[in-house]
Amino acid sequence: MTVTEIMGLLGGLALFLYGMQMMSQGLESAAGNKMKQILEKLTSNRFLGVLVGAAITAVIQSSSATTVMVVGFVNSGMMTLNQAVWIIMGANIGTTITGQLIALDVGAIAPFIAFLGVAIVVFMKNEKLHYVGKIMAGLGILFMGMDMMSSAMKPLADSQGFVDLLTKFENPILGILAGVVFTALIQSSSASVGILQALADSGVIGLNAAAFVLFGQNIGTCVTALLASIGTSRNAKRTTAIHISFNVIGTIIFTALCLITPLISIVQGWTPTDAPAQIANLHTLFNIVTTLLLLPFGSYLAKFTQVLLKDKKGSEEEDTTFALLHIGAFTPEKLGGSAISMEAAKQEIFRMLDMAKDNVHAAFEVFVNRDEKLLAEIKHREEYVDFLNKEISKYITKVITHERTQSGSQVFNSYFAITSNIERISDHAMNIAGYSGMVQEKSIVFSEAAKEEIQKLQAVCDKVFEELYGKKTDVLDWHGKIAGLEQRIDDMTKEYQNNMFDRIAQGTCSDEGSILYSEMLTDFERIGDHALNLSDEFAKIALTEQ
């Protein structure tokens, strides 16, 4: 190949991959932060799950992107391992659409498709139409890149050395290895299959050799998901193992069929004069048949990966270690990246809320009966809450700059406010617990009436947190309950302050005791204020997601 032809091949590959990324971004922007709800509803049934995986992959022309998205969803807890099985099976079917479109010579109208997409983005004001335009422009650019690669490789038909090399791929092992390595390098089975079709169209390689390369390409596409699973949860790694298992099983079955049956001759007979269509048809047949064979055993495939990758012992979170359990490296270009980062932030926020809730409950216990062990636990959780507030806030600041939808930005803004309010709640709990030092130092003894009031303060705080965790089926009704509890906290603060003044007048409350009790009531009232702020933000999120 000449330098010009090499440049054409690389330029075409660049356009192909860029077009794929544009379509991914267009799809994610169109789905917005509803990606999670859409997948939850549609993956409960295995057949729907397969259709969803096929549809997403058909739109973005990349099974790797779909699988990487699924790995992220499983890692964040948005999707179960069983649900992931069906999506991956569907993704393998959806990726065959690219080959079929190439065989139909869609590239001939690719510039027009790209023009339409760009025209929609530039001239239409509707935001949703912009996303459709981005998908169309990406599709056009993808096939323009494919045409460039095809043109760059046509001279290879005159290179006897290259033709002799490809002939060796009629050996199943060499062909499969070549397919694995090449697809792993460019990390796109759609692109590698397209290049294989271009070589076949030039007469450089026949289906006898191309078949085994094709099977290897199906395995090679797993490398992208494998890389994405590094540093993820055990279940996320199992998702990648499912993807690899699916394609390895399919390769074994079809390699055997090609060697012992006239399968290749049959596929050639469907389109005798159209080599690209032969490859596309075999690719489609490979994935549909493998899916149909494995569909009844999908749950067993998931169990197999659980045996293959057993849970690690001693992986529980250490009490003395501050760590983010759900937030990992942010990859904005990943399909579903917005939904994954949103769910990761949400789960860390609820960990933070759990700690604040435990601190508030324990603080009242420590205030009355100083317990050094319990106080140490509160201090540790307070430091952990501060750590999470800092790290979650940094993460939100990073991801919000890449958020493509207004609703998604609103959710992240609310998350930012939520972390701040949770941190303040934990601060007030620490204040209440901290007063116990002065209670002990001054030998302050609370009356039975005061102790009873403190128990009621604790109970109403517990009720507030119970409601914060409640289902928001009717958002306005749910928010109204929190607002009602916040008003009750305000009323209790005033009532108990008046009771304190009565006890002072009766001589049953010391000056030091009254000061500390008043400070504690102020912190109690502030906890109610911040809880109402939390409900405001949670309500905004719930209304955004409806």
Best CA proximity match to 249, nearest among 290, 211, 288:
290
Same domain, 364 and 494: yes
Same domain, 271 and 358: no
- What are the C-alpha distances in Å from 489 to residues 25, 420, 459, 521? 47, 21, 11, 10
Higher pLDDT residue, 38 or 86?
86
Average pLDDT in the 230-259 region? Answer: 90
CATH code, domain with 493: 1.20.58.220
In a domain, 317, yes or no: no
> How far apart are alpha carbons 375 and 439 in whole angstroms?
14
Amino acid at 77: G
Same domain, 300 and 342: no
DSSP structure string for 281-304: HHHHHHHHHHHHHHGGGHHHHHHH
Same domain, 215 and 102: yes
Cα dihedral 431, 432, 437, 441, rounded to 10, equals 120
Residue 86 has pLDDT above 80, yes or no: yes
Residue keyed to tokens 């501050």: 322
Q: Which of 79-88, 374-383, 444-453 has the highest mean pLDDT?
A: 374-383
Q: How far is CA 352 from the centre of its chain?
A: 20
Amino acid at 489: I
Mean pLDDT of the chain: 85
Q: What is the pLDDT of residue 315?
A: 43
Overall number of domains in the chain: 2
> How far apart are alpha carbons 230 and 252 in whole angstroms?
27
Average pLDDT in the 385-402 region? Answer: 91
In a domain, 260, yes or no: yes
Same domain, 279 and 388: no
Residue 327 has pLDDT above 70, yes or no: yes
Residue 413 has pLDDT above 90, yes or no: yes
Same domain, 345 and 458: yes
Same domain, 287 and 343: no
In a domain, 329, yes or no: no
> How far apart are alpha carbons 57 and 67 in whole angstroms?
9
Question: How many CB atoms sit inside 10 A of residue 182's CB?
Answer: 18
Quote the domain boundaries for residue 355.
337-545
The band of 319, judged by pLDDT with boundaries at 50, 70 and 90, is very low
In a domain, 218, yes or no: yes
Report DSSP state, residue 491: H
Residue 331 has pLDDT above 70, yes or no: no
Same domain, 242 and 342: no
Contact 215, 257 (CB under 8 A): no
In a domain, 331, yes or no: no
In a domain, 323, yes or no: no
Residue 342 has pLDDT above 60, yes or no: yes
In a domain, 132, yes or no: yes
Same domain, 265 and 204: yes
> How far apart are alpha carbons 398 and 392 in whole angstroms?
10
Q: What is the pLDDT of residue 223?
A: 85
Residue 317 has pLDDT above 50, yes or no: no
Contact 212, 176 (CB under 8 A): yes
The band of 13, judged by pLDDT with boundaries at 50, 70 and 90, is confident
User: For residue range 166-218, what is the model confidence (pLDDT) as tens digits?
Assistant: 778 889 999 999 999 888 887 778 888 888 888 888 888 889 999 999 999 99
Residue keyed to tokens 């692109």: 191
Joined together, the tokens standing for residue 330 give 């942010």
Contact 286, 214 (CB under 8 A): yes
In a domain, 318, yes or no: no
Same domain, 222 and 110: yes
User: For residue range 513-529, what is the model confidence (pLDDT) as tens digits?
Assistant: 788 889 999 999 999 99
Same domain, 363 and 485: yes
Same domain, 146 and 242: yes
Q: What is the pLDDT of residue 329?
A: 62
Q: Which of 81-95, 139-153, 414-428, 448-462 has the highest mean pLDDT?
A: 414-428
Cα dihedral 474, 476, 481, 486, rounded to 10, equals 150
The proportion of the chain whose per-residue pLDDT surpasses 70, expressed as a percent, equals 92
